[in-house]
Structure 1
Amino acid sequence: MASNTRTPKARALGSALREAREEQGLGLRQLASELGKNAGQLSRWENGERAPRPTDVAQILTHLGVNGERYEEIIAICSGTDEPRWLAVTLPEQRQQLGALLEFERAATTITEVSPLLIPGLLQTSDYARAIMSAGGVPANDVETRIAVRLGRRDVILRRDPAQLVALVGEAALRQVIGAPEVMVEQLEYLGEMAELTNVDLRVLPFSSGWHPALEGLFLLIESEQTPVVQLESRRSGLFLHEPEDVQTYREAADTVRQAAMSPEDSSAFIAEIAKDMEAAP
């Protein structure tokens, strides 16, 4: 029997099924009729409210004409949809995690990003993101697509009913020259512009702030009316956490980091000063 769930992996599986259906131009009721299934059941699968069995997923994908590598990727995420943590170490599963991240961000009410060494993804300019990806070994033919996806994520804080963004940024992220000085100046100026939005709380963690949990690494806390999640990333893997005790641990960490950070007003002035010094440097 399909399990009750709203885990990140179940959301990713549902998103993949919905995308495959929409690519064929089929409505939910039409697909349900063709498969001899209940439309409400399909809807719950696509929303990640319940996780279908692998046999159900195989039936849907076969009916929709999904085959080859894509078929195998979707089938692979059928297992473990009710597990407390989702660790992705393969590139296909990391792509599925990105899909889940986009789903969670679209439904978010508050996003807290703790980023000690790089500008938070939701606040990056295209040139800054391009410099990271190019230097980081992303294949040249994938760079522009990935940049488009990253910039598209901004919609969650720029739309009519935006999510609240709490960005806790390390001083090192502001001073590390990524790309070229002019790229960094533009990036810092953009941070200043975004900090003026009423739904953006941008705070800097100066070198003088002492120890705080951000020094353990970046993390993303996404809260919504549904299941809150935490995302952690390394160079070779991605990890989603959704168990209440795990989420609470990172909520507390974010509160500790916020207390160590400068005020929004002082942070904006600090960023502007760094941009000014960087622009004036030979």
Structure 2
Amino acid sequence: MAKAPKTVVLGRVLRREREERGIGLREFAGRIDRDPAVLSRWETGERTPKPEDVARILTVLGIGGQRYAEVMTLIHGAGESHWLALSSPEHRQQVAAFGEYERSAKTIHTVSPLLIPGILQVTDYIAAIMSEGGLPPEQAAANVARRVARRAVLSGPEPARLVALIGQAALHQEVGGRATTLAQLRHLVDVARLPNVELRVVPFGQGWHPALEGPFCLMESDSLPPGVFLELRRTAVWLHSAEDVAVYRAAVDGVMRAALSEQGSLRLIADLLRRAEADLPVPA
């Protein structure tokens, strides 16, 4: 049975809390009267502990109050085929789960009809979204830093393969103003030339295609089961059943059929950039 995202995150949270206190796995298994192999499977997400097991672990670790409540939210519905965040603490855990999956991903398919995908956004573009979204300054700054850090998965010795399917409308949105738009278009041109990035634009006039239903991200890796992430304004949904993943794989194929080739997409973006640069006032 495939690991559920919620179970994986719960396991990683429990392991991190234990390790931060300098307690070894075998020692801690003894403290909670469990076999080390069982505790190990809980921490890797291979098995889902019962609520009373999680409560005992947290109590023995000395975790209480708000943190206790946050971790306990992860045990409810952990084995279900979807994960809908119903509270702010759970949404934060879900965002953390997305980060865990993205960092271990081998292939990422992101479909974004109206905005540049988060992993490809330049810093000022991200900042404009966060500030105009009404977030407190501290939270906005933290979100900007977290999103900027996501770019790391595209570099390094074993970078993820990214297939970004972007609606043409996203290229015309002046998020953050003209200067930010120019920087964003330049960044797309640069990223599109990376060997592990396939950037495709879905042009206007294609009729119906799955991207018109909204953005989504499908991630696959060797160490975690595939999952689909749907982010909304105040919540997000993780889908990881085989049936759901198959539906979104088919959706990716549908968007690919509507998209321009990589070369055609790069030409379109480069042309938009040239025209946008020509409209800039001459510096004094």
TM (normalized to structure 1)?
0.94
- Worse-superposed segment, 197-206 or 231-240: 231-240
Question: Which residue is 2:206 aligned to?
Answer: 209
**Percent identity of paired positions between Structure 1 and Structure 2:** 49
Name the CA distance, whole Å, in 2 between partners of 1:149 and 1:21: 24
Deviation digits for residues 172-200 of structure 1 (CA, Å, limit 9, x no counterpart): 11110001110111111111111111110
Please tell me whether residue 119 in structure 1 is matched to residue 116 in structure 2.
Answer: yes
Dislocated runs of 4+, deviation >6 Å = none
Spell out the pairing of 1:81-230 with structure 2 (5 A cutoff): 81-225=78-222, 226-230=224-228
Tell me the CA shift for residue 16 of structure 1: 1.7
Name the CA distance, whole Å, in 2 between partners of 1:5 and 1:37: 23
Name the CA distance, whole Å, in 2 between partners of 1:120 and 1:131: 14
Tell me the CA shift for residue 57 of structure 1: 0.9
For 1:130, the aligned partner's letter is: A
Tell me the CA shift for residue 21 of structure 1: 2.0
Please tell me whether residue 281 in structure 1 is matched to residue 258 in structure 2.
Answer: no
Name the CA distance, whole Å, in 2 between partners of 1:278 and 1:27: 58
Tell me the CA shift for residue 241 of structure 1: 0.7
Match of 1:210, SS? coil
Tell me the CA shift for residue 5 of structure 1: 5.5
Question: Which residue is 1:242 aligned to?
Answer: 240
- Worse-superposed segment, 150-159 or 241-250: 150-159
Contact 2:2 2:225 in 1 (8 A): no
1:269 maps to which of 255, 264, 267: 267
Match of 1:208, SS? coil
Contact 1:15 1:99 in 2 (8 A): no
Deviation digits for residues 221-273 of structure 1 (CA, Å, limit 9, x no counterpart): 01123311111111122111111111100000100101110111111121111
Tell me the CA shift for residue 106 of structure 1: 2.0
- Worse-superposed segment, 42-51 or 172-181: 42-51
Deviation digits for residues 60-95 of structure 1 (CA, Å, limit 9, x no counterpart): 112222211111011122111111111113111111
Name the CA distance, whole Å, in 1 between partners of 2:159 and 2:17: 28
For 1:135, the aligned partner's letter is: E
C-alpha root-mean-square deviation of aligned residues, in Å?
Answer: 1.5
Deviation digits for residues 18-50 of structure 1 (CA, Å, limit 9, x no counterpart): 222232233333433443433322222122111
- Worse-superposed segment, 210-219 or 146-155: 146-155
Name the CA distance, whole Å, in 2 between partners of 1:262 and 1:16: 42
Contact 1:132 1:178 in 2 (8 A): yes
Name the CA distance, whole Å, in 1 between partners of 2:53 and 2:99: 25
For 2:129, the aligned partner's letter is: I
Match of 2:198, SS? strand
Match of 1:276, SS? helix
Structure 1 stretches lacking a partner, 5+ long: none
Cα distance change of structure 1 residues 63 and 238 upon mapping to structure 2, 3 Å threshold? same
1:50 maps to which of 44, 47, 51: 47
1:61 maps to which of 45, 52, 58: 58
Name the CA distance, whole Å, in 2 between partners of 1:43 and 1:278: 55
Name the CA distance, whole Å, in 2 between partners of 1:25 and 1:123: 37
Name the CA distance, whole Å, in 2 between partners of 1:53 and 1:241: 22
Please tell me whether residue 21 in structure 1 is matched to residue 18 in structure 2.
Answer: yes
Contact 1:5 1:48 in 2 (8 A): no
Tell me the CA shift for residue 202 of structure 1: 0.4
Question: Which residue is 1:260 aligned to?
Answer: 258
Deviation digits for residues 114-145 of structure 1 (CA, Å, limit 9, x no counterpart): 00011111111111111101001121111221
Tell me the CA shift for residue 209 of structure 1: 2.2
Structure 2 stretches lacking a partner, 5+ long: none
Contact 2:108 2:162 in 1 (8 A): yes
